[in-house]
Amino acid sequence: MDEKYFPEKIEEKWQRHWEASGAFAAEATDARPKFYCLEMLPYPSGFLHMGHVRNYSIGDALAWYKRLRGFNVLHPIGWDSFGQPAEQAAIKRGVNPRAWTEENIVHMRGQLKRIGVSYDWRREIAAHRPEYYRWDQWFFLKMLEQGLVYKKRSPVNWCPQEETVLSNEQSSGGVCWRCGAGVEKRELEQWFARISAYAEELLEGMKEIEAGWPERVLTMQRNWIGRSVGTYVDFPIKDHAGAQVRVFTTRVDTIYGATAIVLAAEHPLIGELLRDSSLKADVERFVERVRATRNISAKLAAGEEEEKEGINTGLIAINPFSNEQVPVWVANYVLMDYGAGAVMSVPAHDERDFEFAQKYSLPVRRVIERVSYEQEQISHDPDAGLDQSAAMPHAFTDYGILVNSGDWGGKLSEDAITEMSRFAEERGFGGGAVTYRLRDWGISRQRFWGAPVPVVYCDGCGTVPVPEADLPVLLPENVELTGTGQSPLATVAEFVNTTCPKCGRAARRDTDTLDTFVDSSWYFFRYCDPNNADAPFDKEKIAYWTPVEQYIGGIDHAVMHLLYTRFWTKMMRDIGLLKFDEPVKRLMTQGMVTNIIEGTNEWKRMSKSRGNGVDPDDMVRIYGADAVRLFILFAAPPENELRWQETGIDGAVRFLRRVYTFVWRWRDALRDAPEAAPEASSFGDAARALRRVTHQMIARVTEDFERLHLNVNVAALMELSNALGEFPATPETAAPADLFAAREALESLVVMLAPFSPHVAEEMWESLGHEGGLLGGDNRQARWPVADAELARKDELEIPVQVNGKLRARIPATPDTPEDALREAALADEKVRVWIDGRTVVKVIIVPQRLVNIVVR
RNA sequence: GCCGGAGUGGCGAAAUCGGUAUACGCACUAGACUCAAAAUCUAGCGAGGUCACACUCAUGUCGGUUCGAGUCCGACCUCCGGCACCA
């Protein structure tokens, strides 16, 4: 140990020590309790940014804490190394995506090591390596076998910028999740994973993780799944024997108000039923126009709503409840892929139908009234007192009481919905139904830099899965990438042309690759057994390590990665690979790291293009990794936005330097400190006070670690350091009991500092006379200090005294002062007397060890 | 529009249960050391009020419950995030 704190020297030394001693290596054979601490794996863009540093500092603090508490901690890292940026770099700059990716990984791995994150580097994985992606392909085949993956032609989201299909989750809000371009609709044949089959379970499963996941992530997933309970009703079509239109509604109670049936433009019945109609041409022209405008959702992205447009098909549907005849329309506001692709239009009770009816002068018929006293009275004669001629200014969408609804009049909406639904079922023209907004996950991409879809097309045998033994289907080298919107693999004859695994004749390979979110859906299972060549992982090993105790990452994956991985886990359970339902017990979503944009007062996420980025390497060079990490964890609670202010790092450096100086000053004297705690009576007031703070802070840091209140933890460490600074004994004059108290405080401080600033903590620990490091080779033990509640207890208290809830005085007491004595002392206090003299004391409330409140009148 | 979350000093923030509001840090001010600066150390730092006390006010606003509310309940305001023709 040098006299002065030189981070660069210390940090290099301990990084080497950790690597050489395997300090962070974990095995599934360990007898200690396990803890799986996971951070979202980075995309190897080439450079670590402050958001990464924050993410990994949070995870690392927890990993260190758990290790020091005696847990066997799995803390791995890897690379989400397939994906667009590599391909874009290839197209724009002609680089080789594999070489580009590998170089980036090398650079970023170096950066991570310089920050000193405690990963078990032996477990490092990268999605773009065949040893990894062959298992993506393996899962694909398993799912194909189970019918959980299928191919279908349908309108899909197309990013014109990246020239590929996107899933619904990746085009949420009408824009590409990565590049922000407005997404178009295209009709294409694509592979889908049947996530919708798990909609109910994904919703139900949230109960299990509710306590450990942030409310907003659960809410976002709940909304995304979009469960909706309603009724479907079949409307027969007049003059077309057997033909009928199915509609879905959550408000079957309003069905007597239906004045039209409205179909989505893509509805299959349109072509079928209009064959002989004179309106055929008009309707078809309209349908074409709607489809064309749907291709551009940039408007949608801007939050604009399209104007409702429709056309009457001339067809007539019959309301099975009222037998009324209503016209069948086609309109742009009805979506084909939700519910039944058709709705009953009830202008009086639905805003959208109302707007549509206004435009096309469709009748508005009120069938629900607000429940009021008057309505109660007329409920025997439901249609009495209704002014049907009165124009409604807008739709009435609340529940209420049915009117003008045949035999159902007078019923409350809630009851009518249940009863009418049952009625429809009994009569065979409908029934209760649950629909979900969640649609299947499109997993094929027209891109090069991904895992090839392991499927072969044969003229004789059709679609043939690649046999497991032939995996991996290798991504070819040296492919020219032009970015034309075609799957680049289609241009590689040696790749495309193959033989059919079934009949052996010439056949063609599928030229799409898998969504990178497939890679990230199961990567943390692979960490448990990263080199397995026979299976994605050994079942026993993942049974030991998973589920993940704590997952840490950005909120941006709330309904992408975090939904897919839950689905993937359930799928793996169903094919017998594991035995639980939810992969992640606790989730923490860290806040953004922002920096001010020069010349403004706007704080925005750090980014190179905005010019407000801060390079972690620079910060480490100037302040040291320990100070940077400490500052990041101290500056704000982990889930809040963190505004980058470099003056704050100075504070962190000052604190580390102060602690370092304490160690330097005391280290020699402490060698003479007694091993065991001396008699209680031998401690002086100052030593007792120091021990009190020490044990109070141990208790606080330990509790707050469980809640990840890391910023408060750092504050507690600073308080402990302040207490050490105020300790009047000096190394030269200290009595044995003083030395004991000082060592206890200093060692507790050093150990508790390790999760935040591990290098300097190791250095100080060594300097205090300990060998082998904090996680010590053969000497693996739980070094986290244990709080002694007795020692933490104050022996002299100042009890606040309130009069009518207002603070008026403080009286001295001890923890065992009896209540009677407290009451007496409070009532006798001079300052209190001023407020109670001449009044009647009604009662005195005493909260033991906390306060006295005198109630007077 | 619907669904979530949050409003506390100049700033980042703290306050398991309702029990001394503002811990810890940053910035700032003054002092010590120094020829000087930096670094370090010491002290101060919610607002009003006072020589100093006392006292009054203060956790977005208004009301309620309670001996006592940053914390619980009701209404409202503002900000942030998500979804968005989902029938």
pLDDT in tens, A465-515: 999 999 999 999 888 887 776 789 999 999 999 999 999 999 999 999 999
Phi, psi (deg, nearest 5) at residue A506: -60, 140
Q: Which residue type occupies A376?
A: E
Question: Does A388 score more than 60 pLDDT?
Answer: no
pLDDT for the residue A294: 67
Q: What mean pLDDT, rounded, does chain A reach?
A: 90
Question: Does A382 score more than 50 pLDDT?
Answer: no
Assess contact for A797 and A814: CB atoms under 8 A: yes
Instruction: Give start and end residues of each alpha helix (H) in A43-96.
Output: 50-68, 84-93
Is the CB of A857 within 7 Å of strand B?
Answer: no
Is the CB of A345 within 7 Å of strand B?
Answer: no
Assess contact for A763 and A1: CB atoms under 8 A: yes
Phi, psi (deg, nearest 5) at residue A196: -65, -25
Using C1' positions and the CA of A301, the closest nucleotide is: B84
In whole angstroms, give the CA distance from residue A352 to residue A358: 10
Question: Does A377 score more than 50 pLDDT?
Answer: no
pLDDT for the residue A158: 87
Q: Any residues with CB less than 8 A from the CB of A579 and at least 6 apart, and which?
A: A543, A573
- Tokens, residue A52: 């990464």
Question: Does A97 score more than 60 pLDDT?
Answer: yes
Q: Are strands A401-402 and A368-369 parallel, antiparallel or unpaired?
A: antiparallel
Q: Any residues with CB less than 8 A from the CB of A165 and at least 6 apart, and which?
A: A156, A157, A158, A159, A186, A188, A190, A442, A444, A445, A446
Nucleic acid strand B: bases within 7 A of protein CB: 3-5, 11-16, 19-21, 23-27, 39-42, 55-56, 67-69, 81-87
- Tokens, residue A731: 């190394």
Residue in the structure block whose two tokens are 């809000």: A173
ipTM: 0.94
Assess contact for A745 and A726: CB atoms under 8 A: no
Assess contact for A642 and A593: CB atoms under 8 A: yes
Is the CB of A305 within 7 Å of strand B?
Answer: yes
- Helix and strand numbers, DSSP H then E, in chain A: 28, 32
Give the pLDDT band (50/70/90) at residue A305. low
Strand B neighbours among A 264-303, CB < 7 A = 264, 300, 303
Q: Nearest residue to B66, CA vs C1'?
A: A805
Give the pLDDT band (50/70/90) at residue A739. very high
- Tokens, residue A459: 């003229």
pLDDT exceeding 70 applies to what percent of chain A?
A: 96
Mean pLDDT is lowest, of A37-46, A370-379, A518-527, A747-756, for A370-379
Assess contact for A567 and A521: CB atoms under 8 A: yes
Report for A390-399, A595-604, A808-817: range of highest mean pLDDT: A808-817
Q: Decide: helix, strand or coil at residue A725.
A: helix
CA dihedral sign, ordered A219, A222, A225, A229: negative
- Tokens, residue A179: 């590049």
Torsion of CA A807, A848, A788, A695, to 10 degrees: 0
- Report the distance from CA of residue A65 to the C1' of nucleotide B1 in Å, as an integer: 46
Assess contact for A432 and A229: CB atoms under 8 A: yes
Torsion of CA A301, A304, A306, A308, to 10 degrees: 140
- Report the distance from CA of residue A174 to the C1' of nucleotide B85 in Å, as an integer: 14
Is the CB of A702 within 7 Å of strand B?
Answer: no
pLDDT in tens, A611-640: 888 999 999 999 999 999 999 999 999 999
Radius of gyration of chain A (CA): 35
- Report the distance from CA of residue A591 to the C1' of nucleotide B64 in Å, as an integer: 36
Question: Does A185 score more than 90 pLDDT?
Answer: no
Question: Does A113 score more than 90 pLDDT?
Answer: yes
A43 — alpha (psi -120 to 50), left (phi > 0) or beta?
beta
Is the CB of A223 within 7 Å of strand B?
Answer: yes
Question: Does A387 score more than 60 pLDDT?
Answer: no
- Report the distance from CA of residue A246 to the C1' of nucleotide B16 in Å, as an integer: 54
Question: Does A299 score more than 50 pLDDT?
Answer: no
Residue in the structure block whose two tokens are 């935040």: A756
Question: Does A298 score more than 60 pLDDT?
Answer: no
In whole angstroms, give the CA distance from residue A126 to residue A82: 8
Q: Select from A630, A532, A525, A541 the least CA-distant residue to A76.
A: A525
Give the pLDDT band (50/70/90) at residue A373. very low
Average pLDDT of A536-541? 97
Question: Does A381 score more than 60 pLDDT?
Answer: no
Label residues A50-79 b or e (16+ Cβ within 10 Å = b): bbbbbbbbbbbbbbbbbbbbebbbbbbbbb
Average pLDDT of A404-420? 93
Mean pLDDT is lowest, of A389-398, A433-442, A511-520, A826-835, for A389-398
For residue A223, the tally of other CB atoms under 10 A from its CB is 11
- Tokens, residue A604: 């925005």
Report for A297-301, A521-525, A722-726: range of highest mean pLDDT: A521-525
pLDDT for the residue A215: 86
Three-class secondary structure assignment of A446-464? CCCCCCECCEEEECCCEEE
Give percent helix, percent strand, percent coil of chain A, each to the nearest 5: 40, 20, 40
- Tokens, residue A505: 């004749």
Residue-wise DSSP of A525-565:
HHTTSTT-SSSSS-HHHHHHHPSEEEEEEEGGGTTTHHHHH
pLDDT in tens, A769-816: 998 899 975 445 679 999 999 999 888 888 899 998 888 888 888 888
Give chain A's largest Cα–Cα span: 108
pLDDT for the residue A645: 87
Torsion of CA A641, A645, A647, A651, to 10 degrees: 20
